[in-house]
């Protein structure tokens, strides 16, 4: 081997080592990135692809379907109805920030009368109610009311510690003037140190057979930590049945609950 060839091979070797080191410095960080919840891989402590474990998203395979227990419409004044769907979320530590839904209405002959679309949250673990007020039916009577979610839920995980600390209770429930203009009052209290924005509260009244008789709703801009507020629900005309049980259901987006 000539001296010139040896020199050329030496320079080629140095150039090859340079490119190997340079390539390693570029490729290595990409191959050794820490796991994230947005890398389209199941890694770290995830229990699915970008879900479960430390990720915000809950894995769909680990979440049970929601059950719609019943849905009905209740006349408020002639031609105007309140609609409600009573639902249970079987997932104690999973919730939905926003999901679209649809009420459909039909008369006694199952003739379609119309629909009402909206969006709501799904709170974690337990029964909740979705309310639509002032549905105009004109001269028609909605005997059949159906409810469905019209998109797949995007489930998020809820920290057990947050649920343990967050405690909202309703007390002092009183119904007056049942035979004229019914008036329901109650007190809602936030026993936690969390501030809760945008609280929707649904009231459902039942007869002696636990059949829902009427519904109403009210709204609170905010329920601060350790705060109590009065709740008031009214109806413009008397009920046709004796009210035996009153159920009041507060609903709020747990993702927007903030430490005081």
Give the number of other Cβ atoms within 10 Å of residue 223's Cβ: 24
Q: What Å distances lie between residue 56 and 40, 74, 124, 136, 206, CA to CA?
A: 14, 38, 14, 40, 38
Antiparallel, parallel or unpaired: β 80-89 and 67-77 = antiparallel
54 band by pLDDT with thresholds 50, 70 and 90: confident
Q: What is the mean predicted confidence (pLDDT) over 94-122? A: 97
Is residue 146 within 8 A of residue 71, CB to CB? The reply is: yes
How far apart CA 215 and CA 218 sit, in angstroms, is 11
Q: Which stretches of the chain are DSSP H helices?
A: 3-31, 160-165
How far apart CA 232 and CA 209 sit, in angstroms, is 25
> Tokens 């926003």 correspond to what residue?
98
Distance of CA 124 to the CA centre of its chain: 7
Question: For 180-205, what is each residue's pLDDT tens digit?
Answer: 899 999 999 999 999 999 999 999 99
Q: Name 67's bridge partners.
A: 88
Question: For 7-26, what is each residue's pLDDT tens digit?
Answer: 555 555 565 555 565 555 55
**Domains of the chain with bracketed CATH:** 45-158 (2.60.40.3230), 159-260 (2.60.40.3230)
Question: For 60-79, what is each residue's pLDDT tens digit?
Answer: 889 999 999 999 999 999 99
Antiparallel, parallel or unpaired: β 168-176 and 183-190 = antiparallel
pLDDT at 241: 87
Across all residues in the chain, what is the average pLDDT?
89
Question: For 119-176, what is each residue's pLDDT tens digit?
Answer: 999 999 999 999 999 999 999 999 999 999 999 999 999 999 999 999 999 999 999 9
Q: Name 57's bridge partners.
A: 156
How far apart CA 30 and CA 47 sit, in angstroms, is 23
């Amino acid at each position: 081997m000539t001296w010139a060839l040896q020199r050329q091979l030496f320079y080629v070797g140095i150039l090859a080592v340079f490119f190997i080191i340079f390539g390693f410095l570029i490729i290595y960080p990409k191959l050794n990135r820490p796991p994230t919840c947005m890398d389209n891989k199941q890694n770290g402590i995830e229990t699915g692809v970008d879900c479960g474990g430390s990720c915000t998203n809950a894995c769909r395979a680990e979440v049970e379907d929601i059950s719609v227990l019943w849905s009905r419409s209740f006349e408020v004044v002639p031609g105007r109805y309140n609609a409600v769907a009573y639902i249970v979320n079987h997932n104690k530590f999973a919730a939905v920030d926003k999901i679209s839904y649809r009420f459909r209405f039909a008369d006694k002959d199952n003739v379609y009368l119309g629909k009402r679309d909206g969006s709501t949250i799904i709170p974690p673990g337990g029964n909740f109610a979705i309310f639509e007020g002032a549905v105009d039916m004109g001269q028609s009577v909605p005997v059949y009311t159906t409810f469905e979610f019209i998109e797949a839920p995007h489930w998020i995980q809820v920290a057990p510690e947050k649920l343990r600390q967050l405690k909202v209770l309703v007390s002092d429930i009183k119904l007056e003037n049942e035979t004229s203009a019914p008036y329901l009052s109650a007190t809602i209290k936030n026993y936690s140190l969390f501030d809760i924005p945008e609280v929707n509260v649904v009231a459902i009244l039942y007869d002696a057979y636990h059949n829902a008789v009427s519904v109403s709703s009210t709204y609170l801009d905010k329920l601060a930590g350790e705060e109590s507020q009065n709740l008031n629900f009214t109806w413009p005309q008397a009920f046709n049945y004796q009210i035996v049980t009153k159920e009041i259901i507060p609903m709020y987006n747990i993702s927007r609950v903030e430490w005081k």
